[in-house]
Structure 1
Amino acid sequence: SWLPLGKRVLDKVCRIIREEQDRAGALEILMPTIQSAELWRESGRYDDYGKEMLRIKDRQEREMLYGPTNEEMVTEIFRAYVKSYKDLPLNLYHIQWKFRDEVRPRFGVMRSREFLMKDAYSFDLNYEGAKAAYNRMFVSYLRTFTRMGLQAIPMRADTGPIGGDLSHEFIILADTGESQVFCHRDYLSLAVPGANT
């Protein structure tokens, strides 16, 4: 549950995220929480996702699921609504509740079965455009964290089942974390250009 003070903090965080995403040229959408299993089967990830995916059936016995992420859904939106290369580039984002059957939910709102997550999806004409979109999002995240008073350390990350050749995680130093990070002390004093404008 989000009590009044926590809800105000959550709303402020979402406002900062929206402002920085809009500044980076992304467009906000909202996608369904409950998704068709057929979309996930088409992508090949329905069975691969494992027990973290919460699955249900509707009254007609059609298999549905609580979306643990939205790549399948946003791809369906793209397929249905983008009709020409002239519609590109297109960068969509959303902030939405996600549901995962975590093995060990803990740390309150930090790792629970239900959480609010921001995703962004870029559709580009070529690799160079995709890389430029990635870099805009990278800077947008750094500005977002700086505006929140957080020191974020970008770390190269595995692309996982989504694939691709470029992925970063942003590590926030905290006592409750599970990872250890080693970086040069000077990195922690770097300024993020445009973070305060």
Structure 2
Amino acid sequence: MRWSQTFIPTMKEVPADAEVPSHRLMLRAGLIRQLMAGSYTYMPLGYRVVRKVTEIVREEMDRAGAVELFMPALQPIDLFERTGRKDAFGNVLFSFQAKRGDRKLHFALGPTHEEVITDLVAHEIKTYKQLPITLYQIQTKFRNEERPRFGVLRTSEFLMKDAYSFSTSLEQLDEIYQRMYRAYCRIFARCGLTYLPVEAESGPIGGDASHEFMAPAGNGEDTIVRCAGCGYAANLERAETGRTSTAV
């Protein structure tokens, strides 16, 4: 396609609030344009990149045995009330009311989909013979970031791949965890990223094991520790003295 037939508006000067090199370069190259704080339009060239990365993620999830579905971003607020996470999310949760006839309904824009997927599986999985199963989606998420920054790295609306596994035993769960771990390693390698898997806190809904995949960057906000001898690496909040690396 000729340059004159596409739409790649470049910039010579970038806004002063573009703090990091990646944000400045994406603006100058015409990959993105800001609509408001925390909200961006992916221009044609930038969206081609998104599609390519999405396909890599999809291929590796399928290879790992996960099954793709697509859940709604618009969710009833009572799902979050049932799990107690409405209060836990606080102001991060986008919630609003709407009227349908004489009814007043309360909704949320999904910051995540644990509530939706567990509600779905509770209704549709009838027997243990249907397990184990891992379901994933690539869907838009919404979080009311108090301080959106770093371009598309911290936004109020973003695309995310989330996967959920359901098992009948800890052995099954461990096997699926290892498959997902290896899938993420392949994804980052195919994207050409330098990355480091580190042990991390599981959070309020996590299990016994949790890893974060860190990409070293000068503007990073997380601190990790790593042993050059045994290879053990962990988020600073999770690091334990005397631990050694455990193969996944």
Which of these residues, 192, 199, 212, is aligned with residue 169 of structure 1? 212
Which of these residues, 73, 93, 104, is aligned with residue 53 of structure 1? 93
> For the aligned residues, what is the CA RMSD?
1.3
Which of these residues, 185, 189, 196, is aligned with residue 142 of structure 1? 185
For 2:152, what is the secondary structure of its paired residue?
coil
Give the C-alpha shift of residue 185 in structure 1: 5.7
| Aligned equivalents of 1:163, 1:93: Cα separation in 2 | 17
Report the counterpart of residue 44 of structure 2 in structure 1. Answer: 4
Which of these residues, 129, 138, 145, is aligned with residue 172 of structure 2? 129
Give the C-alpha shift of residue 158 in structure 1: 1.1
For 1:30, what is the secondary structure of its paired residue?
coil
TM-score, length-scaled by structure 2: 0.73
| Aligned equivalents of 2:56, 2:93: Cα separation in 1 | 29
Superposition pairs of residues 1-197 of structure 1, within 5 angstroms? 1-59=41-99, 60-184=103-227
| Counterpart residue type for residue 53 of structure 2 | V
TM-score, length-scaled by structure 1: 0.91
| Aligned equivalents of 2:139, 2:57: Cα separation in 1 | 13
| Counterpart residue type for residue 73 of structure 2 | T
CA offsets per residue over residues 119-138 of structure 1, 9 Å max, x none?
Answer: 11000011110111011000
| Counterpart residue type for residue 163 of structure 1 | G
CA offsets per residue over residues 177-196 of structure 1, 9 Å max, x none?
Answer: 21233435686xxxxxxxxx
Rg comparison, structure with higher value: 2
| Aligned equivalents of 2:217, 2:54: Cα separation in 1 | 21
| Aligned equivalents of 2:155, 2:135: Cα separation in 1 | 25
Report the counterpart of residue 14 of structure 2 in structure 1. Answer: none
| Aligned equivalents of 1:163, 1:16: Cα separation in 2 | 26
Q: Give me the identity figure in percent.
A: 46
Give the C-alpha shift of residue 163 in structure 1: 2.9
For 2:180, what is the secondary structure of its paired residue?
helix
CA offsets per residue over residues 35-87 of structure 1, 9 Å max, x none?
Answer: 01111111111112111000011213221100000100000110111111110
| Counterpart residue type for residue 160 of structure 2 | M
User: For structure 2, which runs of at least 5 residues remain unmatched after alignment?
Assistant: 1-40, 232-248
For 1:132, what is the secondary structure of its paired residue?
helix
Moved segments of 4+, more than 4 Å: 184-187
Alignment length, in residue pairs?
187
| Counterpart residue type for residue 51 of structure 1 | N
For 1:57, what is the secondary structure of its paired residue?
strand
Question: Could you say which structure has the greater relative contact order, defined with CA pairs below 8 angstroms and 6 or more residues apart?
Answer: 1
